[in-house]
Chains A and B, each alone.
Chain A
């Protein structure tokens, strides 16, 4: 039993950090699902949202700051739709991807100009001190971080809400139609502009949540945008188009990489966390080329 303690602890820790990856991956999924755009700017949006919140909350009450930040993210969505996506309707996915890179650069510069490049502390008022569970079973107990639990809860409910929203409304169907074929979607009267505004706004709000979770952990600073890289394997593993996939992918990647780092890492020099998630994703893809929950890739002549 005593040996099981550490395993459980690592597993739990991994699952928790996996949820944090999922939060970022979720933003990617939303936008990809709705437009076939792989949004490179998701990381920059996480940073931008968190920065806005932190700086606004310096002189506004926290709830007001949150509301204002959401408004800012919606404005951003509007600008992106208007200035970037609309003129590029119907272009190849890679080109849209490149355009979001332009957005990334812009946001990086813009965010730093108006909000500054320092580190800011984001205090959500949740104690960072750990809980120790089941101390009677395991020596030292199983360590759980309350921040992680909070993040997990938020992520879980977010996924649930989004799944319901996108699956049981006609918007959900329209989203998938748009992702399949912009032009045909337009031709049946799906308003691309509104759809994209909705989705990018939602992704902006998701970015804010991710920014809060990660920002309370890392401090709000430029490096927040790097967490996007950690979300990539999660995204791919779960399938680019699946909201539940983002969560599940996150859990698998989180737990897998922590266990690997912990138990395999020392044998081959450590730091394998760095690539393990990708290799894991690769292995899954070899079996299921569309990820665990992604839409089937149609091959037909």
Chain B
């Protein structure tokens, strides 16, 4: 029994409501945070930071955004890419047109604008449900792709329609090395993850989950479906918008609308489902699975000394990745987060099987 609940008593409701109730969990999370904030930046090389960790963090953030909407409120969205795009282009235009505003405020306002768009495109959710709703959000996705290509004002009339992010200057702190970018993203991710966790374990989160699990019953106990759904859309697109800003400003630097295409939306959806719907931790696990695993699979043959043609490697990557998705779902349909939980449960019982 490595994982020991006995002997840890919670004597107040406040203690019982803490995010990490067990000492083991608290030690674990402290260790992870220490590694993330200090260990990784010290040890990781540029490749790891720039090509893997930064995208991973930003996509985790976006996945948290989608998870709030899909995993907690049960509204299927295929428009997360569009919300990210709205965030990115808003921040770009704010920085361009109102240079006197501090960049951090631009980021925040961009998130708010994304939230506004989220509310507008969440309106149909009042009538449309389930898979059918996915189409409403797809409409947004395609419309946004089109608008950012077509409406030249958004891209400041650059001939090709691609735009470039300004220098990342936060009150004099110029973020230009990879390590700083990593810290910046990490800060955003930690903050948002904490806020999201708080939200989902308070009233708003519970009303989202109620709507998700059974909207009719929710209405009858006094939750207003419209209010709950729209607030989920708003919060989710705020987070997605913020992730979009980071993706554009920090990861890509310069980008075209294609960076936030339907592919991005689908990938985020995969992350949430694989990681675990209705779990903040799952968003991270899912993002890791979907972003890091293919890269790993791509490099794996070379690592173990097998020389295959590039095409073969990439086909194998597809096949193995697809197979792993299916295997993981069969193993635990509720996602990696759940797998983790069951693992903990087992550790609690260990060495007994049940």
B-facing residues in A210-240 (Cβ within 8 Å): 229, 232-233, 236, 240
Would you call A109 and B145 a contact (CB within 8 A)? Answer: no
Output the least CB separation between B197 and chain A (Å).
Answer: 22
What band does the interface of chain A fall in when counting residues whose beta carbon is under 8 Å from B?
35 or more
Chain B 298-325 residues near chain A, CB threshold 8 A: 311-312, 314-325
Q: Return the contact of A282 from the options B124, B149, B220, B326 (Cβ within 8 A).
A: B124
Given contacts A271-B150, A274-B146, contact A299 B138 (CB under 8 A): no
Q: Is B262 an interface residue (CB 8 A)?
A: yes
Decide yes or no whether A263 CB sits under 8 A from chain B: no
* Minimum Cβ distance to chain B for residue A55 (Å): 15
In the complex, whether A278 has a CB less than 8 A from a CB of chain B is: yes
Question: Is residue A153 within 8 Å, beta carbon to beta carbon, of the partner chain?
Answer: no
Query: Which B residues between 121 and 148 are near A, CB-CB below 8 angstroms?
Result: 124, 127-132, 135-136, 138-139, 142-143, 145-146
Residue pair A94, B273 in contact (C-beta under 8 Å): yes
Known: A98-B329, A289-B128. A233 touches B135 (CB 8 A): yes
- A275 with B124: in contact, given A88-B333, A104-B322, A285-B132 (CB under 8 Å)? no
Query: Which of B124, B323, B326 has most A Cβ within 10 Å?
Result: B326
With contact pairs A94-B76, A98-B325, A117-B311 given, residues A281 and B318 touching in the complex (Cβ less than 8 Å): no
Bound-state Cα–Cα, A158 to B299, Å: 45
Instruction: For residue A182, give the distance in angstroms from its CB to the closest CB of chain B.
Output: 13
B130, B316, B317 — which one has the most chain A CB atoms within 10 A of its CB? B130
At the interface, yes or no: A16 with Cβ under 8 Å from chain B?
no
List residues 105-130 of chain A with CB under 8 A from any CB of chain B: 105-110, 112-113, 117
Query: Which of B132, B311, B318 has the most CB atoms of chain A within a 10 A radius of its CB?
Result: B132
A278 to B138, Cβ gap below 8 A? yes
* A4: B residues at CB distance < 8 A: none
Chain B CB within 10 Å — which of A87, A95, A112, A271 has the most? A95
Closest to A275 in B: B142
A251 and B333 CA atoms in complex are apart in Å by 38
B318, A105: Cβ atoms closer than 8 Å: yes
B132 touches A291 (CB 8 A): yes
The reply to whether the CB of B330 lies closer than 8 angstroms to some CB of chain A is yes
Cα A99 to Cα B324 in complex, Å, equals 10
Is there an interface contact between B325 and A102, defined as CB atoms closer than 8 Å? Answer: yes
Contact B143 A101 (CB under 8 A): no
Which 7 interchain pairs have the tightest Cβ spacing? A109-B318, A105-B322, A106-B322, A102-B325, A278-B139, A275-B142, A109-B319
Given contacts A99-B325, A274-B146, A290-B132, list 19 more A-B pairs with CB under 8 A.
A38-B131, A83-B326, A88-B330, A102-B329, A105-B318, A105-B322, A106-B322, A107-B322, A109-B318, A109-B319, A113-B315, A233-B135, A271-B150, A278-B139, A285-B128, A286-B128, A299-B216, A301-B216, A301-B217
What are 30 A-to-B residue pairs whose CB atoms are below 8 Å? A87-B330, A88-B333, A94-B273, A94-B277, A99-B330, A101-B270, A101-B322, A101-B325, A102-B324, A102-B326, A108-B318, A108-B322, A109-B315, A109-B319, A110-B315, A112-B311, A113-B315, A236-B131, A269-B150, A272-B146, A275-B139, A275-B145, A278-B138, A278-B142, A278-B143, A281-B139, A285-B136, A290-B132, A299-B216, A301-B216
Question: Which residues does B use to contact A, with CB under 8 Å?
Answer: 76, 124, 127-132, 135-136, 138-139, 142-143, 145-146, 149-151, 216-217, 220, 262, 270, 273-274, 277, 311-312, 314-326, 329-330, 333-334
